[in-house]
Structure 1
Amino acid sequence: MKICLFNQVECLELEALLREEMKRTNVAFQQSLNHVVLERNIQEKYQILSKILLRFGESREVNKVF
């Protein structure tokens, strides 16, 4: 049972406003989540690149010794 203190038009307007606010909140949350995922991907790529550069540097030092 739906009890409303407003008339039906006002209830529909309030429902529409609530839906719009929920969409905005969802978009903001999704953008925030995308930023976190992007940041994590960048960190992972940086770690991989660091390991590659470290190994490359070690192999160059070994070549210098010989």
Structure 2
Amino acid sequence: MKICLFNQVECLELEALLREEMKRSNVAFQQSLNHVVLERNIQEKYQILSKILQRFGESREVNKIF
């Protein structure tokens, strides 16, 4: 249901403005979501790298003992 207190031209202009604002909001939301996903990927890779380096360090310590 569409309620309009303005004339038809003004209604169309308002609808166009609303559509543009929704597009901008959607782009901003998508960019924010992409940033969160990217940051999570970086954190996961850092954790994997930390585990690899930790294991490498442990194996070097074992080699030092022998």
Shorter-chain TM range is over 0.9
Alignment of 1:34-49 (within 5 A): 34-49=34-49
RMSD: 0.9
Identical-residue share of aligned pairs (%) = 95
3-state DSSP of counterpart to 2:4:
coil
Using a 3 Å threshold, how does the CA distance of structure 1 residues 2 and 65 change in structure 2: closer, same or farther?
closer
Aligned-partner Cα distance in 2 for 1:61–1:50:
16
Gaps of 5+ in 1: none
Deviations 1:3-60 (A, max 9, x none): 3211111000000000000000000000000000000000000000000000000000
Aligned-partner Cα distance in 2 for 1:24–1:48:
36
**Structure 1 residue runs of 4 or more that deviate by more than 6 Å after TM superposition:** none
Gaps of 5+ in 2: none
Aligned-partner Cα distance in 1 for 2:40–2:33:
11
Aligned-partner Cα distance in 2 for 1:65–1:13:
78
How many residues are matched?
66
